Amino acid sequence: MNKFLVFFILSMVHPLFSGSIKIIPYDWVGQFGLFKQNGRVLFNTDWKSKKLLFDGVLSNYPTMYGADIENNFQEQLKPNFIQKSIDSSIFLSKINYKQGDFSLDQFSFHLDSKQKNRSYDLIGFKRSYFGNQNQYFHNSLQPIQQSYIGTFSSKKDNNLGSISIGHFNTYSGFPDIVDQSYLSNRITNANTHFQHSKGKLNFIFSLDNFLQRYKSNHSLALTSDSRYLTRNTVQGKVESSVNHNIEYSLGFILNKRSLQLDSILNQNWNNYYLSTSFGGIGIYFDLASIGDKHVYNFVADIEKSTKNFDFIFCLKEENKPIHPYYYFKNSDIRLKLIEKNRFNSFTAKWRSKQNTLLSRISSVKEINPNWINKAETQTIYLEYINTMLPTFEFGLFYNKEKYITYQTGGLGDWIALDLKSNFKTFSGYMDITLKVNVKHFSETLSNVYFNPIEFVPIFSTDNIKTQEMNILNGTIGIKVSSFVIQYSWINMLELFNYYKEGTEVQFNPKMPLNGSQKSLTIKWHFKD
C-alpha cells in the first residue's frame, strides 16, 4: 500500500501527542527518555522543579520523577520566589492511579494547603513497570521509581521564607547488549530561601543542596562502582520595580560541584549578573568565572504584540563547565573544561477568534572542546490550530531539521495531526473527551544518540540506518465533577503487521523497541 495513502487514512482516524516535541521517550510510561525545552535537549544543564535544584550531569529526564516534577519544570536562569498572600484558606488533594500493560502500576498523591500566611505541600509518587520486553525487571518487587517532596512556606509582614526537601529513588533493571544490567539512583535535594520586601525593593537569598548516589553495571558505564555527586549553590538577588513595565535585578550565583569516581573532580563556577525588562524587552548579562577562566553569558528576549500578531526574538550565549564524563574519559583534555552554546530563535504567531498559526525558526551552535566538529542544529517549526467547531479542535504540526543531531534526538523531519473532541452529556454533568494523534517521522539516524547511562551524546561511525516511524495514539476520558477516568492506547500501529517497518518505534538504538502500551487512569481531585 502506498505509504502516503496509509498515513492519510490513519490521520483521519482520531487524536494525542504534543504538536511540539518536548519528550522523546525510550518507553511509554515515562521512566527513561530525553526531555526537550525550547528545541534543546536537556544535556549538562541544571534545572529546577518545585523549587528543588537538579544537577544536570546525571539527571536529564524530569518525567522520570512523576507528573508534579514534569509539570512544574522550568528553566531558572535567575532565582525568583515572589509569592502573594491569599485571603482565605484552601486545601487541595489529588489522587492519581494508573494501571496498564506489562505490570504498569503507578500511583501519586498531592496534598496542598494554602492559608493566609503559610502553605504546605506534600507529594508522593511511585511507578512499577517491567517493560514491554521485561527490560526493567530486576528480581525485586520494589518500584522502579519513588519520589517524595515536601514544602513549607511562611510569610510575616514583608518577609517570606520556605524550605523544600525531596527524595527520589530509582532502582530498575536496564537493557544491555552484554547482559541484563541495572541502574540504582538515589537523590536527596533541598532548597531554603528567604525574601524580604522593602518598598519597591525585594531582597532574595537562596541555598540549594543536591546529593546523588549513582550506580550501574551497564557496559556503557564509566565504572560499575558507586559514584557520589554533591552540588551546592548559593544565590542572592536584589530586584526593583520602577513600575509595572520596568524591572531591574542584580544578583550572584555561586556553584560548587564534586563528583567522585576513582578520583574526585571539583568544579567551581560563579555568576554575577544584571538583568532588566521593559516594554516587552528582557536583557540578562553576567560575568562568570569557571575555574581560572573568565567568560560572559547573555540572554536577550524581545516580545511585541499587536491585535492579531505576536513576535518573539531570543538570542542566548552560555558558557558552562564540561560534562564530567569527558574529564574522566580522557585525561588529555582536562584543561579544556568549558563548553559554549549559542541559541537564537524567531517566532511569529497569528491569531484570530478560531485560528492560530505559529512559525518558529531556531538554531543551536555548540562548541565543545571534546568534539571534533561543532554541533549545529537548525529547525523550522510550523503549527496550526483550528477551533471553528464548538466541540472539536484540529491541530497540524510540521518540523523541519536541516541537520539531524543529538539535539533532535537523532530524529529528522516529522509531521503530526491532533484531533480533539469534547462534549457534554447528561444535562452537562458528564464531560467526554476524545483525543487522537498521528505522528510521522520521515527519517532517523542510528549513529546519533545519547548514552542512556552517562547522559552524553554518542557520535558513532557505524553504518547509518535510516527508517520511517509512524505513531498513532488514542485516548477517551470521562469526567464527572472532579472524578476522571481515562483509557489510553499508545502506538496502536504495532498491531498492523502489514506495515511493520513503519510501525516499529525506537528512539535510541541502545534501548528496546517501544512497543505499544494500554493503560487505565483514575484521577480524583478534592477541594477543602
Is the pLDDT assigned to residue 463 strictly greater than 80?
Answer: no
Domain membership flag for residue 286: yes
Predicted pLDDT of residue 86: 54
Asked if 158 and 197 touch (Cβ cutoff 8 Å), the reply is: yes
Strand, coil or helix: 202: strand
Cβ atoms within 10 Å, residue 271: 23
Strand, coil or helix: 362: strand
62/23 Cα distance (integer angstroms): 10
Predicted pLDDT of residue 19: 37
Helix (H) or strand (E) holding 182: strand 181-198
- Higher per-residue confidence, 473 vs 36: 473
Domain membership flag for residue 120: yes
Same domain, 359 and 424: no
Predicted pLDDT of residue 59: 94
Of 80-84, 136-140, 326-330, 386-390, the range with the lowest mean pLDDT is 80-84
Asked if 126 and 107 touch (Cβ cutoff 8 Å), the reply is: yes
Predicted pLDDT of residue 334: 55
Position 341, amino acid: N
Domain membership flag for residue 511: yes
Domain membership flag for residue 99: yes
Kindly state the DSSP code that residue 509 receives in the 8-state scheme.
Answer: T
Tens of pLDDT, residue by residue over 347-388, are 999 999 899 999 999 999 888 887 876 678 899 999 999 998
List own/partner pairs for 206-211 with CB under 8 A and 24 or more apart.
206/79, 206/81, 206/233, 206/234, 206/235, 206/236, 207/232, 207/233, 207/234, 207/235, 208/52, 208/53, 208/232, 208/233, 208/235, 210/53, 210/54, 210/55, 211/187
Domain membership flag for residue 206: no
Same domain, 16 and 89: no
Grid coordinates standing for 441?
517521522
Average pLDDT over residues 41-66: 94
Kindly state the DSSP code that residue 323 receives in the 8-state scheme.
Answer: P
Out of 178-182, 309-313, 443-447, the most confident range is 309-313
Domain limits at 161? 45-196+214-229
Domain membership flag for residue 236: no
128/142 Cα distance (integer angstroms): 8
Same domain, 59 and 148: yes
Same domain, 27 and 116: no
pTM for this entry: 0.89
When divided into structural domains, the chain yields a total of: 3
Same domain, 49 and 187: yes
3-state secondary structure string, 267-304?
EEEEEEEEEEEECCEEEEEEEEEECCEEEEEEEEEEEE
Predicted pLDDT of residue 39: 76
